[in-house]
Structure 1
């Protein structure tokens, strides 16, 4: 994995689904669905096997060459298309029919599945936005929350209420300073918490007229603990060095700095371009809160620099690295025989 891939600190996307050309299958039978992935199994009227899979926004359909063939193992693709947003893997039977132009006995099945609320609108009427900021410290994550508040000052910030016995109980309003749940929602267009529709699985369900922004950062939850990674333990053993690595537990008290990825997402009507402009400006604001930093990738045993990269970095992480000569953002070993490398800011 290159330093560019490892240190892809900020990434975001806008996605508006575009349906593929219809395949016009009229099936004798069709079953399946589910999520992550959704899988479908069917038969054509002339007894050809059909298999379809939807995961990561990508849908493909395979058809057996002749009766008796297993389409999953031996079939050929009659559809292969990116439809949904990255990471989406939920599709119902009726949605599959609409997306592919297929029918079952000449009709589209009714939407009866209990997990229908998991399905995204893939018609093209809804646009999706998502972003991830990596290597983010708790202090800077709170500053990003404040930036969201400035961008949507009238929105409600809510967090889930859970109990050990029964799980999800509902939502409660919180503040940017006091929020302590790993998953939050910033909801514009709701004047009261009870105006926000909920479900046990996803907590917040889409509602026309509301912009619902999902904000996830594991270290907001006070019960969350950093986990020692396999890379860190093995690198210390292989190199014989007591490495100081951000994001790791069991560091000396004065050398502990937690970090986590922050994941953000929302959806909105495709013709509401103002939301796209607002989200674009907000990502520019978030990027400005980080500092462009020149990084180096160093072989831990030899001390040789093998690569450089300039990218935005959490200023708290940059400050932590500057406090000592052997502090690292992350470690990497390309393969079993490769040397261990670490990434850190270039020292002035």
Structure 2
């Protein structure tokens, strides 16, 4: 079985072009912050980087490093990029070129439910090699504590931590991604990604999603037969409906302010995408024609890259 520890590790093969990135998002009652640490390689160029953006600032900061600064240790798991360190239980970000120093604890990650058919969010595709982009949901949301120092002011962080990662050679050509741990009505977590997936000689729109309410996880995915039955942009709102068997879920997604990030394209971090930290998403979950849940999520991470034009 593919485990949390398996997913956490460096997956890059010797094939190039290639990229791999670990994503962290922390939300507490005063700050929302996201961090991406990663590596991208082509025959001509090798890049190690840290990207960081947060609601105290209006822009993303990125620092690049020579490949020699990337140090990986499998057991116990550790990634070092110069003075920054990522361990299984802690993340430390520090660089004089960044306006931020960050320390957070990683405690008792909330994991996806697993089966042999779907050991990860990728389902049976997790067993395949050479996917354009592989995705892992490492931590749906666990309590975290830490410290953020920004422009010489210290902020105590006490909130929720979400973790995921991607690896392959490129991000999907078109996709939408939504994530939030901040539900108004009850304890709930939302993760959604819909993307164009090239597969052998054909392509399809792939869906991966989990809605966790309390301890119950609702999984929607193409490998479970999920289909998009409605997708439309109405002014500043993305409307989306997904149906899977006896269940249907309707979304109204508003991104709000976004931050421009660098994303991989054939192993080079030169593609621009926009991500929100304070988006809003409303969902309605139906079983047959009965509405089971109506939920509102704030502080949503949202990326729409050409999925809704």
* TM-score for both structures, normalised by structure 2: 0.24
Point out the structure with the larger helix share: 1
Q: Which has the larger radius of gyration?
A: 1
Point out the structure with the larger strand share: 2
